[in-house]
Structure formats: C-alpha cells, structure tokens
Structure 1
Amino acid sequence: MRGGVIDGPAAFAHTDDGNRDFYVLADHLTQDLASVLDRPDLRVIAGERRIGLDPALPLPFRVGADGMIVLGAPCLAMPAAAPVLLRHALELVRLLEVAPGEPVLAGLCAARTAALFAGLDGPAAGRSRPAWHADMAADVPPEPARLADVWSTLSPLQPPVTPPADGAVGFGGLRARLTLLWSLLGPAESLMAEGGDARLAIDPATGLNHYGCSHRPRPWAVTFASSTASSLSERGFAGAEAARLRLIRGELSGDGARVRAEMVEDVRRQIACHYRMTDAECVVLAPSGTDCELQALAMATLGSAGHPVSNILLAPEETGSGVPLAAKGCHFANDTALGAQVTKGQRIAGFPDDTQLLSVPLRLPDGALRAPADIDRACDDLARRARAAGRHVLMHRLDLSKTGLLAPGLEMLDGLAEDGSSPDVPPPDVPLPDVVVDACQARLDPARVRAYLDRGWMVMITGSKFFTGPPFCGALLLPAGVAARLDHGSLPVGLADYSHRGAWPPCAAAGILLPGENLGLVLRWYAALAEMTALQDIPRAVVRDRLDRFLDALEGAIDADPDLCRLVVPAPARPPLADAWDDRTTIMSFFVRDPHAAKGVESFVPLGLDAARALYRWLNTDLSRLLPGPALDGGADGGLGGLLCHVGQPVPLPHPARADGPAGALRLSAGARLISGEPSHGGLVPDRRMDCEIRDGLRVLAKIGLILRHWAVLAAADPVQTYAPLPAMDTGVSRSRP
C-alpha cells in the first residue's frame, strides 16, 4: 500500500526487523479501515509513505527503521480509532526523520500531535483513547515521572532506542524541552484554529467551526461559500501541513526563532509578488479584514498631521459585522486574535477619542440600490465637509460588498485632491485624504490591485474569500507613500492586543508591539497561498470562460425557479482590461420564498433573516434520517437529503414584503477553486469538471426545494451541521467524494 491505497488484491511488505514477510489480503482490510486509509486529510499527510497491515501485530502500529508503517490488529478491531493511530504513526515517521538524533523527543512530540488530533476527530475516536492522551493533550507537559510512564507505552511503537540513563532526571530535561515546544506541537488543523478568535474553534461533536467549515479537506461537500468562508481543499491543507513541518523542523533543530521569522517574511513576500508590489511598498498581515480596518485607521492617524480623523465607510451593513467598531478605533469583540480579553465597543488604547465614523449606505430603506451618482455625491460631500472642519479623511472604496457592489466611483475619488473646485476649502495643513480599498472579497484581477497601489491607496485583501483559503487570513497592502509613515511615530499602543511585531515589516512605528509571530495566521496564509498560486497559473481568458459558463447556468436556474428570487446587482464598473473576468458579478445572491407565505399571491415573500439562517445550516446538514425515503430521491449519489451543501451566509437586507424585519439573502459564489479545480477532481478534463461544478450548483438549488417541502419537519428537529455525512460521523470514519 502507498498513501493508504491498495495497489491490487493484496499488498506485500517487510516487518521492521526484516525476519519475516507478511501478505495482506483484501478480505483482511475491512471497508471501515479502507475508508480510513482514503481519508483526504490522512491521504495528503501520507503522500507516498509505505503502509502495511499485520493482523498478528498486537501493537496499534509500529514504525520501522526504514520508515515503513505497519498497522496492527487494534486497527482492525477498532476502526473508529484507526484514524488517530494512523495519524500518530505518520507524525512519528516524519519527526524521526526531522530529529534522528533525538528519537525519544520525537516520539513524545508525535504523541502530543496524536492526542490533539484525537480531540478533533469526534466522539467516536474518544471512546477508545488511551490514558496517556489526556496527559499529552493538556496545556502543559506531564511531570517527569509521568512522562517516563508515557514513554514506556510509546517506545514499542518505534525502532529500539535507549531511554535517558538517569531516569526521572533525564525526563526532567526532556520536559524542559517539551515546555518550549508545547504550544507549537499539534496537527495543522489544530494550529490553524489559533491566532484568530472564538469563531475559529472547532466543535468536536460536529467537526466544524462557527462558519460551518473545517480546516480539514471536505471534498464530499458541495461548497460555494467563498463569499463567507470555505473548508480547505487538499491543496490548501497540503500547503499548511508543509509549513507546519517546516516550523517543527526549525524548533527541533534549535533554530526556531529564525525559521519563524523567515516564514512570516516568506508569506509577506509571496503576497507582494502576487500583486507585483515594489520594494518600497509593504504587506502587513492581519487575522481578518476587520483587523485590516484597524490597521488602516492606524496608518491614517500616522498621516493625519495631528488632525482628528473622519473615517468614511461604505455600506457597513454589507461588510464585516465588527467593521464599524474597528473603523472608530474600538474593540470589535470581547477577545482578540492574540487572546487578550477586552471590552467590545470600548476605545482601543492609543486611538484618538475624536475619531469620527461616517457611513454611506448603498441601498434605500426598501432594499433597492441607490444610484451610483448619488453615492458619489454623498461621499464627496462628507469628505469635503470633514476636511473643511480641519479633519483628516480616510475614505473607503468598497470592492466588493457581500452582495457584489462596487462604490464609490474612481472619478470621484480622484477628485478628492482637487480642493480648489470646492467652496469648502480645508485649512492648509490638513493632509490630502487617504483612500483604503476594501478588497477583502478579493474578487478582482491582481492588475486592479496594482493600479490601486499606483494611485497611492491602501488595499485590504484576504486569502479566505474568493481564494478559498481558511477563514481569518488578511493583509493590508501599503503603497510607498503610506509605508514611509512607519519610519516615524508609533502605532497605537492598544494594537499590541491584536498584532505581533512580526506581522509588520521592520519599522520604528511597530516598536510598541510585542516580538513574535501569529503562527496560526501564518499557517492559514500558507494554505491560501497554495490556492492563489494555482489560480495565477491560469490565463485570464480561461478564467473568464469558466466563470461565464458556470454563472450563466446557475443564474438561469435561479431565475427559472419560482421559489427563488435573484438579487440582481450591476456588474462592477472597471477600467478596460484585456480578457477581464472581474467585470462580472461572481456572487449570486438570492431570496428564498417563505414556505409559510400564502400561495397564489403575486408578491414574492422571502424568508426572514432567522429562517434564512436555518436554511443555510440545514443545507450543510445530512437530513437523510429526518425525511421519508421518497423525499430523498433526486440525487445522483442516492439522495439530496444526505448531500452537504455549504453556501454563503445570509445577508440581512430590507424587503418590502417583510415588514417584520430584514429578509435573508443566501449567496452562491464562484471561488478560485471553481476555476483552478481541486485535487479531488483529479483525472477530469476541464470541460467535464465544469459540468460537475454546474451539476453541483443545481443540486444545491434542488436541496433548497427539498427543504422547503419539508420545512415543518426540519424546523421541529433543527438538525446540526457536521463535517461529514452522518454514517461517517457515527463511526469516526470519513468518506471520499462520490
């Protein structure tokens, strides 16, 4: 077997001692165990590793001196525990290669990763966990005596090694080494949940986070959620896993500080390269787009020449929920990415109390779009009045909103510097306005970002929306003129609760921040960069063709469905660009008919926000045990009810048919993986792959219809989302994409 895949009816291997051969017959490999070996996360980690099975081996596994993994009888007897055992073995093999001179330390580090992996793998895995898991999953390493006991259990799993000669004293030294390493040890999916906020935490019972997605690949799910957050693909997971191993290799070699700093710099370099940034420009890493807003405000304050700042925000209802607070320099949650406990809404230390937030809505009270000229006039008026009052302006351009809106216009923004054309002439010492582009959706060609930087504007981007990287990886791109401000003054002291010094380029202004790196953020960015690299290799004309094909098919299907009402938004108005793909809306927002509304009426009554949120969850849920058999018919894999569909979270929008509160608009979005493909689509030619993507989009719409027909049953049960379909969640064994 290689990478957990049987090469034929049998597999042949040698035991680690070389004294006997064994033959693995296919009938010895249970279906559950075969599924374990084909799990997408374990398959990525295994790569081309040699894996064998010896039913006579009483140990869970044994790692040979040649690096081969032999699974033992416990894997056959307890298939629910097999994923943890295989993950433990894979980690041990790699750490023995990384630290060949320290096999005991490598074994203990691998056990830590296995214990944390078991905690993420659901209740089924927990039923058969050994006692040492609790010790190795704790917040601190075990005491030396207990560590020696744990090692006595672990040592038979790897090639013979002499334990420390001085017993507990020697394990005391190992404990000291482990203490330095402890917070850095663990599976990639665990480490990627660090350095964000509580929304990243994985619920072991469901395998999903607040966004309904996972840091593990989930190829069996239909995913068009790139306007909110996506589960990792195998490609992204491999990128994060490779970065994690690089990090651990540095720590075990005693060169951890240098390696960590190099990895952060490498992330910044790759982002800068993607957008063709110059040496005079710089990238600031941020856990989220909301953190980017804080950073942009800090940069505007540095350039304000002592004047109070007026921050003009576009459509705060269609950006992140915490953005309006961050735009005033206030805490936007009760905890920060670095784990500091703060008070939501309170001013962050160092941000001036007289910072002013001004907002310009993009929609009328009934939900209709405002005319672009009206939006431009409102922005221009607010900016000029603020400057005339002696205030420095930070003006936003929203590219794009949650529903795909782009505003204000370039001509208006360019005209802000023409003070002489306005009667509201500002005092001579008020700086020209700063402009920051909120491109956190990242639904634009890199050439557009380059053009924004050439105008001297800051740009906020993320790897977690269009690029389909994991949630909570953002960056603020600084043009040369703004970046130069970092050579003088100081950032607000309260930013130390949000950002390490390593997130910023070397500069005087970041001196108030604590040294260090947000390693969870770094790993998330490596996952996103893997997707960005795959996309940038595809010609622009091909990108356009694939998007057109998908969007045409799905827009037509939404428009033809009487239970759906598409929210039509104007195409983004952009300067000409050869073979442009970003002048088309790639977020399809739509209302869903309220099943409780009277039938036969001419007006369309959409679901309210709470009901739309329930629909969003149920789409991402295996409903097969709640609906009668005939209701599940219609899915190519045996039924729509069990199909997991992840779409964009509902956006609250006013609607004339809902006087009781906002309606909820669901979003079905085209992301980078739609264009570049996923490893799980390997072997499909592009045309065939796009046919599958379109079919999957249509199945999402079909499942919406199924849910509407059985709304009362589902509302009474209110089922929860899960990482995998229910049979797999029952046993702890995941399945491959059908």
Structure 2
Amino acid sequence: MLISLQSDLAELITSGSDNRLICKHNGLNGYGCSALPRDVIALGSCTCSSPTHHGITAAERTLETLRNADAESAEAFHDESERLCQSIRDRFAKLLQIPESIDIALTPSGTDVELLALALTRLRTRRLHAQQPVAQSKRGIVNIVVGPSEVGSGTPIASAGQHYDTLLPSGQQASCNEPVCQSLCDDVDIQTVDVRDAHGQMLPESMIDSMVIEIVGKAIDQEQHVLLHIVAQNKTGMHAPTLDCVTRITRDFPDDVTVVVDAAQGRISRQGLREALKRNYLVFITGSKFYGGPPFAGCLMVPPALQPRPEESLDEKCWPAGLADYLTAAEVPPHWRTIRERLGQWINVGAMLRWSAALEEIQAYYDVSDHARLKIMRCFEAAVPETFSQGDGIELMPVFAPIEDPHQERLLESKTTVFGFRVRIDGKLLDRATLRKWHQRINLPIETTDSPDRSALEACYHLGQPVPFADGSSALRIALGGAMIVRIATDESIGNDLTARLDWLKTQLLRLRTKLQYLIAEANAIEAAN
C-alpha cells in the first residue's frame, strides 16, 4: 500500500501507477481526464476517459471493503487484497468469455504489460533451449513493435526493458530509458515497423507484412528469438501485420517466435480474442480505453504453452528483479509461485480500484444487446465521415474498411470506432504541439457572449490526443467507446428511444464540428493579421 486508505478516492484511484495519472491544478491529467466523473462528451476513449458514475460507485464499494479489512488487521487486509485480485481476474474472464486454461495477470497500465510479456518470453527462450550449449541457451530477443508512433507512447521504451516514466507504480523514482534490469535490456534488440509513409498515409498491408517477414528472417538467421507484436486496432484504428502473415511465421518457426497481440484499445470481438489465445498468442488488453474504465488498468492473458512452470527456479538471469516495482504478487495467478516470490509484496490499491470500475463498465457494455451495439457503431461510423467531410480545414484520415465477415483475415478487428483528422490553417497542416493546445481548448468551455454557437462552444468534448506523423503533422482522434455506447443505449435523458438517442449523437458530432470551425476561423484570422 502506497498511501493511506483514508485518503480521498480521487487520490487513491490514481495511485499505484505513474505520472500520467497525476491530475493538475485544473483537476485533469495530461490526457484531459479527471479522476472522478465529469460532464463531458466523451469521444477520446482511444486514449482514456474520465470514469462514469456507476464505475466510481463500484470503486467506492471496493474501497469500503478494503478499509473494513484493514481496520480488522494487517493480515485481513492482505487476504482481502488477494481475494479481490482473484475476483477481478475471475469476473474479467467470465465477461470476456476467456477459457479457464488461460492465466490472467493484472497490471497497473497497458504499458506495464510490455515488461511482463518480455520477461515471460525470456523465460520461454531459456526453457526451450535449456538442454543446448550455454551460448545457445542464452539467445537474445528481437522485439518487433509495429506502428511505434501509434501505440502507447511508452510502449517502445518498455518493450526494450526500460523505465518509461520517472514515477514507478511502487512509488519509487527512476530515470526514463534506464534499464528495469540490466541483464534483460542486454538481451533485447528493438526493431520497429512503420505503418505510414512520410505523408501520414497508410502503407499497403502487403508492404507491412514484407517488412515484418524480413526482420523475422534476419533475427532467426542470427539465432535470435523473436517477440512479434500484432497491433489489433491501434490509436488510429489500424490492424497490422495481417493474421495470415503471422500464421505463416509461427507455422514455419514455432519455437523461434512468440507472438503478443497488442489489443490495448479493447476494440476487439470476444470471438477474435479466443481465437488468438487458441493460437498460443499472448494477448494484452486494458479496461481503460474502449471500455471506459478510469486510467489505467491493464492485463496480460497467457495461454498454457507460455505459462510459467511451477517447478522453475528463477534467478536474476531468468526473471528481472526490477519488475517488483511494477507488479505485485497478488496481481498474478496464485500458481505462479516462484514468480510471485520475486514480485512486489506491497498492495496496489489504486489498480484494484481502477479495475473494479472498469469491470462495471465492461458489464454495462455487454448488458447492451448485440443489436443495439451494432446499430450505434454503424451510426457512428457513417455519421463521422458525413459530418467532418463538410468542414473546411478538417481532413479526415483514411481508415480500414469495416470487417463484415468474422472469418476474414483480421479476426480481431471490430467496427470502425476511431477516426483521425488533421487540421489545415492557411494551407499548412498543424503540428502536434499546436494540436495539443487545441485538444485542451476543445475539452474546456470557450466562453463567448456574442456567438450564435454559444452552446456548442461552451460544451466540453474530450477527444483522443494528437498522434504525430513523419511529415511533422499530427491528427486528433474521434473515438466511440463502450461507455458512450451504454449511454446512447440506455440514457432516456438524451432521448426517449434509441432512434432519438442516435440523433443526439449526430447532433453532438455537428456541435463538435462547430467548435472546431470556430478555432479554425480564429487561427486563420490570426494568420491573416500576421
């Protein structure tokens, strides 16, 4: 436990992670989210979201349970923490329909999962080659990260086995880019595969696949083990490489390649999730992006072939001691006995609170009928292009076509729920620094007394933070999340029936366009004056 259980919920629910969760003087963190519910049109779930009222109510129940146990004794608090973590794993597995054979490890955020996946991969390589000569049994790992600029900002750093923030979940301090464990870092070579060209346009799938195959081939020729990332719906909705490409690689090199599916966005089908696990892929997901739980809450799903063995003895060369600052014993399955001994013995109250809220959001999402969810998603993916293609200065980024047939290649791809757009002022595309300022202004009221669009300008719209591209431009993102789907499906205060509530959604998108065009007109006027 890092802070007193008697602290405010807002302080506790942001504990046990890193500086990204710390709220500033305006009550918002660096992503523009609050630790508590906020009156905002939530269209930024591709980054994170402020919690809903029913999510926070669930977190409050968990906090009360922990406080009662702590009042009883330290032992009771420890036991209750273990029970709660197991309950979170069990409920998550039930909601996502995960087979009992799959191990689930909780993490403070999606970025932290990278460290755990890397450590398990190294454990696998040592196990596979334990009977070989020493030089071969200590094979290095080539970690292939696809679309590095379009996954979590800390992902490429954590994938190298390095600290990505100065504040660790344990509360300890660190230096960014320093090794979590020197021996682990020495074993890892990061290779990245870009998914866009210099102008921000998506590369053909065949080209991305070819680059991945080339890196895999070179690594195996050099007797390295490969940890290959599949990105299942990244920040801008892309899925790469293709599952056909990955299937061929794992068929040809079953003992030389470990696959991890980066499904952190949560924009996947439960069927696709099960299919990936059946293929013996590691899969990580969060409860804090699409599903709308408070930032952040991650987990790693581990199929039987990649699970640690109870009899394995671990030392620093097999398991990085530095992970004890990121993960606690209670967050991993009880039968990971030797690993639990090397993880933190502190209790991550913040992570339990965030996951309690996230599970409530996941439950609410799947309580909505399939028919209603599909209707809302289809409305969104039609309304966004229709609304924003008519805005001068707003340029929608191209997206993958929606997958209708679940048997097509991208089994993990959901409907189109993320749209990126760039902004052009006086013929020039805005850069990331400028769009960060716009992101903040869109997320707060613009006070004006003489505009006929006053109500739209004063409304708060939380969008996904800008994603940078190689040409110096950047794109903000409009994302439909689970919490918004639940609101449209159930909230009679915004419409008497689903049709009326879908009209409400279209109205919100029009009002967002109005606010954007106000900022564009303002910027053009300043540019003209200069």
Both proteins in one fold, TM over 0.5:
yes
The answer as to 2:499 corresponding to 1:687 is yes
Q: Write out aligned runs for 1:166-565 (5 A).
A: 183-203=4-24, 205-218=25-38, 220-254=39-73, 255-305=76-126, 306-349=138-181, 350-419=183-252, 431-485=255-309, 488-490=312-314, 491-506=319-334, 507=336, 508-565=338-395
The AA in structure 2 aligned to 1:393 is: V
2:482, 2:197 → 1: CA distance? Answer: 32
Match in the other structure for 2:132 = none
SS in 2 for 1:593: strand
Aligned-pair CA distance for 1:442: 0.5
Which of 461, 465, 469 does residue 645 from structure 1 map onto?
Answer: 461
C-alpha distance in structure 2 between counterparts of 1:680 and 1:574, whole Å: 26
SS in 1 for 2:388: helix
1:246 is paired with a residue of what secondary structure?
A: helix
Distance 2:326 2:22 in 1: 18
The residue correspondences of 1:31-42 to structure 2 (distance < 5 A) are none
What secondary structure does 1:584 align onto? coil
**Superposed CA offset, 1:117-175 (max 9, x none):** xxxxxxxxxxxxxxxxxxxxxxxxxxxxxxxxxxxxxxxxxxxxxxxxxxxxxxxxxxx
- Partner residue, 1:65: none
How far the C-alpha of 1:583 sits from its partner, in A, is: 4.1
Structure 2 residue corresponding to 1:671, chosen from 472, 477, 481? 481
Task: Tell me the alpha carbon deviations over residues 13-67 of structure 1, each in whole angstroms, 9 at most, x when there is no partner.
Answer: xxxxxxxxxxxxxxxxxxxxxxxxxxxxxxxxxxxxxxxxxxxxxxxxxxxxxxx
> Could you tell me how far apart the structure 1 residues matched to 2:256 and 2:51 are?
42
Deviation at residue 487 of structure 1 after TM alignment: 5.1
Shift of 1:693: 2.1
* Counterpart selection for 2:424 from 553, 569, 593: 593
* Cα distance per residue 1:159-196 (max 9 Å; x no partner): xxxxxxxxxxxxxxxxxxxxx99711123222101011
> 5+ unaligned residues in a row in structure 1: which ranges?
1-179, 420-425, 598-603, 656-661, 716-738
Alpha-carbon contact 2:288-2:294 (below 8 Å) kept = yes
Q: What secondary structure does 2:379 align onto?
A: helix
For residues 370-390 of structure 1, the C-alpha deviation after alignment (integer angstroms, 9 at most, x for no partner) is: 111111111112112211211
Cα offset, 1:587, TM superposition: 0.4
2: CA distance between counterparts of 1:356 and 1:211? 30
- SS of alignment partner, residue 186 of structure 2: coil
The Cα shift of 1:678 comes to 7.2
| Preserved contact between residue 312 and residue 358 of structure 1 (Cα < 8 Å) | yes
User: 1:81: which partner in 2?
Assistant: none
Tell me how far 1:535 sits from its aligned partner: 1.0
Question: Aligned-pair RMSD on alpha carbons?
Answer: 2.4
Distance 1:232 1:536 in 2: 17
**Among residues 593, 610, 616, which one is paired with 2:433 in the alignment?**
610
- Judge conservation of contact 2:18–2:169 (CA < 8 Å) in 1: yes
Which amino acid letter does the alignment assign opposite residue 311 of structure 1? N
DSSP-derived class of the 1:699 partner: helix
Query: What secondary structure is seen at the aligned counterpart in 1 of 2:333?
Result: coil
Distance in 2 between the 1:682 and 1:435 partners? 44
Change (3 A) 1:606 1:191: same
Task: Give the alignment of 1:108-187 within 5 angstroms.
Answer: 183-187=4-8
- C-alpha change, 1:238 and 1:713, in structure 2 (3 Å) is farther
Paired residues of 1:312 and 1:393 also in contact (CA < 8 A): yes
1:2-13 map, 5 Å: none
CA positional deviation for 1:275: 2.5
How far apart are 1:246 and its partner, in Å? 1.5
* 2-structure distance, mates of 1:192, 1:250: 18
In 2, distance between residues paired with 1:575 and 1:583? 11
Instruction: Note the C-alpha offset of 1:546.
Output: 1.0
1:237 partner SS: helix
Structure 1 residue 668: deviation in Å?
Answer: 0.7
* Structure-2 change in CA distance of 1:574 and 1:379 (3 Å): farther
Aligned to 2:165, the other structure's residue is in SS state coil
Matched residue type, 2:255: P
The alignment partner of 1:258 has SS state of helix
Q: Secondary structure at the match of 1:641?
A: helix
Q: Secondary structure at the match of 1:297?
A: helix
Do 1:264 and 1:517's aligned partners in 2 also have CA atoms closer than 8 Å?
A: no
C-alpha distance after superposition, 1:387-422 (max 9, x if no partner)? 121111111100111111101111111111343xxx
Does the residue aligned with 1:390 lie in a helix, a strand or coil?
coil
Query: SS of 1:667's equivalent?
Result: strand
Contact 2:403-2:413 within 8 A present in 1 as well:
no
SS in 1 for 2:125: coil
Give the superposition deviation at 1:641.
2.8
Contact 1:312–1:360 (Cα < 8 Å) also in 2: yes
Shift of 1:225: 0.7
Q: Helix, strand or coil: the match of 2:450?
A: helix
Summarize the Cα distance change of 1:522–1:413 in structure 2 as closer, same or farther, 3 Å threshold. Answer: same
Change (3 A) 1:368 1:487: farther
| 1:272–1:282 Cα contact (<8 Å) kept | no
Deviations 1:283-338 (A, max 9, x none): 11111121111111111100013321111110111111111111111111222121
Q: 1-side partners of 2:114 and 2:432: how far apart?
A: 26
| Kept in 1: contact 2:232–2:412 (CA 8 A) | no
Higher relative contact order (CA 8 A, sep 6+): 2
Between the aligned partners of 2:225 and 2:2, the Cα distance in structure 1 is 46
AA in 1 matched with 2:29: N
**Counterpart-to-counterpart distance in 2, 1:417 and 1:574:** 26
Code of the residue aligned with 1:438 in structure 2: it is D
Describe the shift of the 1:714–1:256 C-alpha distance in structure 2 as closer, same or farther (beyond 3 A).
farther
State the Cα distance separating 1:499 from its structure 2 match: 1.2
